[in-house]
Structure 1
Amino acid sequence: MSDERVRGFPAFGAGGRPARSWWGRAWLSAMEDTALDLRQLKRGRKYAAAGLVGPITVSPGRLAAAVDDVDGGPYRTALRLAELSEADWTRFFDRVASRAGHLAALLDRDMPHDLVEAAADAGVDLLPGIGDLDPECDCPGWELPCRHAAALSFQASWLLDADPFVLLLLRGRGEGEIREELESRTAPVSLTTVDAVDAADRTPGELPGLAGFRPSGAPSIPAAPGVPAEAFALLSANAAGQARALLAGQPWPGRRADAVRLAAEFPTAAERLGSGEEFERAVAAWTHGGPEGLAVLESTWAPPKGALAAARAALVDVTEAEPVFDRNRCTVGEVQLRLDHHGRWHPYRLEGETWWPAGPPESDPGLLLG
């Protein structure tokens, strides 16, 4: 095995934090959703935060460290994840190389949702699913995972936050190998392979000068009958935003959601776009949380049991009240937290008999109970 396929990371000091990236949270969900004892997860989280996990070694199919314990140790602990086959890697490289945005994001140590979804469409699962993480530990405990493997998994999510190439190494390839393969697939064709005369015929001419096309400022558009001048500015800004989203491959909201978005981004136009308490709550939800904020206002869904268990554990130390869970909603007194599909909790406050959006979302629900 080459040195590139073995990476070592120094031990984290004391001071824990939740996984920040969506792929780091997906890693934790794969562990939490198959846990046999949620108490071990809570203890593992504390062990990770206390800095009891030693230096971490990552290699294809295996992530390992020694973990101390107040009752003994250190214990040799590892997490195993199946490597991708050669055919899987070929399909993955084909998909990434076909989209310049995917390649740029990956090299910038980002892992966009659509990259993972594109790989999945090609039959390649990058992120672990339920039962894919196989914990090992030489401690006397029987739980899967034990508190030591749970601690290692929490710290592994921090490594993934900083560098998704850690996940790809676990799946079997080092960063240098991946870069080399992708660069070879995206390199331009050499002109030496093309007939010289034909190449000359295909050489484009010089672009025209653009000095005359530089705008001097925002256009000044007079009001039309029945249409105020500021409406043109709003429409122009909206068209620019839609163009940016389409170029970035982002979905554009439907008609009602778009009206809510416009009212949130252009408050002076809110009265023309909608009215009533329901519309005002929707605008507040978008203001605080964007599309996901609006989604958790208007719909519920059933999150994985592990996500709810993690939330319950995070709330133990910040409230004496018993949280009441109903699908993706958690009510604690006059505060309600709503979980979106990206693992963030959106706070709501009870005003009269109505729940109102109360602030931006957080990955750690405990931070919202102030």
Structure 2
Amino acid sequence: MRSDVSAARGFPAFPRQQAGTRFATSWWGRAWIKALEDTSLDQTLLKKGRAYAKTGQVGPITVSPGRLAAVTEAGYDAEQHTVVHVEQLGEAEWDRFLDQVAAKAGHIAALLDGEMPHDLVEAAEHAGVPLLPTVGDLEPECSCPDWGHPCAHAAALCYQASWLLDDDPFVLLLLRGRGRQELVEALQGRSLPDPAAGTRAGTPAAEAFALGVPPLPDPPPVEVAFAPLDLDPAPGVEVAALRVLAASAAARARELLVSGRQVVLTEFQDRVRLAAEHDLDLGLEAAVRAWRYGGVTGLEVLESAWTPPGRELARSRALLEAGWEGEAPPAVEAWRNRWTVGALQLRYGRDGRWYPFELCDGQWWPAGPPARDPSELLA
């Protein structure tokens, strides 16, 4: 293994974050956080680390092969030199990884676009190349006297590193041993792996031209759009309403065919759906808004209350507290699946998401799309 110091990248210090700011919005960033939290044996130190990270007490971060480093200012009234070591990949592992990247044109394009494809990580794992860290892969080292593994300073550094990973997956590849430019250069000119190893590669040009031009494949099926019904007026028949119902039925049939799921709606739910999809004035403004934000579940949390399992509410309270690291979270008046904070109310749906409502003229109105983290909505 090698450690190319010239590949090191520096990142400016993150400023103090607003309440409710989350760590790791990308799936690979969350995998990084999971490796950190699964390794830790002290939740108190992790909580301190999150607070340090969000309050801007970590200095500029340097990322180099196998090493994440920064100077932290939190605690002990002195600067602490903090390093987190990550095992680098060997030459054979890099060769196998580059084979997986080159095997699909979209992989390198996704990486350059700031995405880490799921199938690339899975293919790399099948080839024996661990890209994402797991329990024990992050080795912290700090000048502070705390014996925690990791200490609060190393935890803060790892939490902030998740923001770097969100923005650029090449940061993870650099930690594993190779920088962006080195990887791009290695991929240039790399041919696709031959799936039929040991057979003749390609066809001679003279032989290929002698085959002539093969026939074109059959054209893809043409998707026919729904044609509105052409009905003549008739006594006692609301032609406009029939057109709306026919269009709605066609849309529902298409949805069921594509999704393969059958959702049975009550008469009221179907009336709300029609009003929401076709802008019909049926005196159901609140219900229509709830449907547009959350469909059947959005309508359910508007119409009725229920008591979620205690573990689900406990998880939500932990998310709420984590969103206000370093600050006291807002006081919540809780009743069943409804949390009220002043003129804002969150209602927990059976789909595991919180739906925001706002108080207007004495009535609670749906106020936006749902989220799994209540701190996002209260922020």
Instruction: Give runs of aligned pairs for residues 73-152 of structure 1, distance below 5 A.
Output: 73-152=78-157
Give the structure 2 partner of residue 360 of structure 1: 369
Establish whether residue 317 from structure 1 lines up as the match of residue 341 from structure 2.
no
**1:158 aligns with one of 146, 150, 163:** 163
Please identify which structure carries the higher helix content.
Answer: 1
**1:47 aligns with one of 39, 44, 52:** 52
Residues 40, 149 of structure 2: 8 Å contact kept: yes
What amino acid is aligned across from residue 317 of structure 1 in structure 2?
A
Partners of 1:149 and 1:306 lie apart in 2 by 25
Partner of 2:45, secondary structure, is helix
**2:77 aligns with one of 72, 75, 79:** 72
Residues 35, 134 of structure 2: 8 Å contact kept: yes
**1:21 aligns with one of 26, 30, 40:** 26
Distance verdict in 2 for CA 1:283–1:367, change over 3 Å: closer
Q: What's the RMSD between the two structures over aligned residues? A: 5.4
In the TM superposition, residue 347 of structure 1 has moved relative to its aligned partner by 3.6
In the TM superposition, residue 286 of structure 1 has moved relative to its aligned partner by 5.1
Establish whether residue 346 from structure 1 lines up as the match of residue 357 from structure 2.
no
1:26-52 CA-to-partner distances (Å, cap 9, x unmatched) read 212221233222232232223223322
TM-score by length of 1: 0.65
Residues 59, 71 of structure 2: 8 Å contact kept: yes
Aligned length: 331
Residues 293, 370 of structure 2: 8 Å contact kept: no
In the TM superposition, residue 165 of structure 1 has moved relative to its aligned partner by 0.5
Residues 83, 171 of structure 1: 8 Å contact kept: yes
Partners of 1:53 and 1:59 lie apart in 2 by 17
Gaps of 5+ in 1: 208-213, 246-251, 270-279, 290-296, 350-355
Residues 58, 169 of structure 1: 8 Å contact kept: yes
Partner of 2:10, secondary structure, is strand
Partner of 1:55, secondary structure, is strand
Residues 312, 323 of structure 1: 8 Å contact kept: no
Partners of 1:139 and 1:234 lie apart in 2 by 65
In the TM superposition, residue 115 of structure 1 has moved relative to its aligned partner by 3.2
In the TM superposition, residue 22 of structure 1 has moved relative to its aligned partner by 2.4
TM-score by length of 2: 0.64
Distance verdict in 2 for CA 1:186–1:313, change over 3 Å: same
Partners of 1:282 and 1:219 lie apart in 2 by 24
In the TM superposition, residue 152 of structure 1 has moved relative to its aligned partner by 0.7
Partner of 1:78, secondary structure, is strand
Distance verdict in 2 for CA 1:59–1:43, change over 3 Å: same
What amino acid is aligned across from residue 118 of structure 1 in structure 2?
A
**2:38 aligns with one of 33, 40, 61:** 33
Comparing 85-94 with 129-138, which one deviates more in the overlay?
A: 85-94
Residues 81, 133 of structure 1: 8 Å contact kept: yes
Residues 354, 373 of structure 2: 8 Å contact kept: no
Partners of 1:339 and 1:27 lie apart in 2 by 29
In the TM superposition, residue 168 of structure 1 has moved relative to its aligned partner by 1.0
In the TM superposition, residue 134 of structure 1 has moved relative to its aligned partner by 1.6
Partners of 2:186 and 2:252 lie apart in 1 by 40
Gaps of 5+ in 2: 195-201, 217-221, 232-241, 279-288, 299-305, 358-364
1:261-299 CA-to-partner distances (Å, cap 9, x unmatched) read xx9799449xxxxxxxxxx9998645899xxxxxxx9x9
Partners of 1:182 and 1:266 lie apart in 2 by 54
Distance verdict in 2 for CA 1:13–1:35, change over 3 Å: same
What amino acid is aligned across from residue 377 of structure 2 in structure 1?
L
